[in-house]
Amino acid sequence: MLTIDEIRTAIQSRPHEPTAFRADPSHAGVAMILTGNDNKLDACFIRRAEHENDPWSGQVAFPGGRAEPNDKNAAAVAERETFEEIGMRLQPHHRIGPLPIRPIQRRGRRIDMTLSPFVYYVGVDAHSTASVRQSHEVASVFWVPLNHLFDEAATTELQYPFDGQLTTFPGIRFEDHVIWGLTLRVLESFADVMSLSLPALD
């Protein structure tokens, strides 16, 4: 499928115009972390803990979160949040580069928040270095083969309350997890950069 060199070339050759960064909760950063070799690359996901006041409660996500006053840029947000959530220290040499910045929408309406996703490669076998550190934020950490995300057989649908009624959304099923919503849209950006189609959104 994809090799790290192909991913690196595609991301680093893409024109990128960073948005103005604000070290406040209106800006968020997430990390799409890859490990493995060119025969089998895996991506890291978390399942968020369930909280009544969290709009993404219980959902599958990439490690990351909102900016804080001491964050210098969006990559620093993604890297700090990754360490806080799963204990993995991402270094600048792990960072392949940014994916397209996305305005965050909630239930089909844009809110005043911007998401900056970054892709990282942490070496051949980093699976065991990621584990739940903040159980009040993260319920579990798991790795998904990159090929699985592009497997048509993994596409699924999920019903979620929207404006008082259940609405059907596209997703990718992996074991008992469903990747959907904003995280699926970040994967769509990754697929676009790699000139691939994402079956879940075809």
Chain centroid offset of residue 27 CA = 15
Torsion of CA 93, 96, 98, 100, to 10 degrees: -170
pTM: 0.92
Cα torsion angle, 88, 92, 98, 103, sign: positive
| pLDDT score of 5 | 96
Confidence of residue 153 (pLDDT cuts 50, 70, 90): very high
151 has pLDDT over 60:
yes
How would you classify the pairing of strands 40-48 and 27-37? antiparallel
Using pLDDT thresholds of 50, 70 and 90, give the confidence band for residue 160. confident
Are 44 and 130 in contact by the 8 Å Cβ rule? The answer is yes
What is the predicted pLDDT for the residue at 39? 82
What torsion do the CA atoms of 85, 90, 94, 100 make, to the nearest 10 degrees? 50
CATH topology of domain 4-151: Nucleoside Triphosphate Pyrophosphohydrolase (3.90.79)
Q: What are phi and psi of 44, to 5 degrees?
A: -90, 135
pLDDT above 70 covers a percentage of the chain that reads 93
Token digits of residue 109? 């309406």
Closest residue by Cα to residue 180 from 168, 197, 166: 168
28 in Cβ contact with 113 (< 8 Å): yes
Q: How far apart are CA 181 and CA 169, in angstroms?
A: 8
pLDDT digits (tens, 9 = 90+) for 105-140: 655 455 678 899 999 999 988 989 999 998 888 999
* Residues 13 and 99 sit within 8 Å (Cβ to Cβ): no
Domain regions of the chain by residue span? 4-151
Segment 65-77 shows an average pLDDT of 95
What DSSP string runs through 3-31?
Answer: -HHHHHHHHHTS---PPPP-SSTTEEEEE
Query: Can you tell me the distance from the alpha carbon of 122 to that of 91, in angstroms, rounded to the nearest whole number?
Result: 9
**Mean pLDDT taken over the chain:** 90
Q: Which position has the token pair 């009544």? A: 52
| Pairing mode of beta strands 102-106, 109-121 | antiparallel
pLDDT tens, residue by residue, 73-105: 999 999 999 999 999 999 999 999 999 998 876
pLDDT of residue 55: 64
> If you average pLDDT over residues 149-168, what whole number do you get?
89
pLDDT band, very low/low/confident/very high, at 56 (cuts 50, 70, 90): low
Please tell me the predicted confidence (pLDDT) of residue 183.
96
Buried b (16+ CB within 10 A) or exposed e, 118-127: bbbbbeeebe
CA triplet 93, 99, 102: central angle to 5 degrees?
135
